[in-house]
Amino acid sequence: MLPETQARIEALVKGNKIMVFMKGTKLMPQCGFSNNVVQILNAVGAVYETFDVLSDEEIRQGIKEYSNWPTIPQVYINGEFIGGSDIMIEMYQSGELQEKVAVAMAS
């Protein structure tokens, strides 16, 4: 990954309490997994930002290297990589996600 790409990713991750790298936007998700993440975050009342990886191939590939995670979407809360759609569903069902979001929003 180019240093400039890594710097752009870090700025997005560190500059937003909750950051989602996804296909499409929160208003127009372009895949089912991205839509799942948007629906879950909306359900818990999270304030979050998204980055459409379909609009930038360097970020699309770079985020996989940055997180060492092969799939998109990717969710970061307070700079910490949380995971993708399946992990978000599990955390939502267990109540763990609601706690993480509440802490992030309060900080």
**Domain 3-106 has what CATH class?**
alpha beta
pLDDT value at position 107?
Answer: 85
- Please say if the pLDDT value at position 36 is more than 90: yes
- Dihedrals φ, ψ of 38, to 5°? -60, -45
Extents of the domains making up the chain = 3-106
**pTM (predicted TM-score):** 0.95
Q: How far apart are CA 28 and CA 22, in angstroms?
A: 11
In this prediction, residue 58 has a pLDDT band, given cuts at 50, 70 and 90, of very high
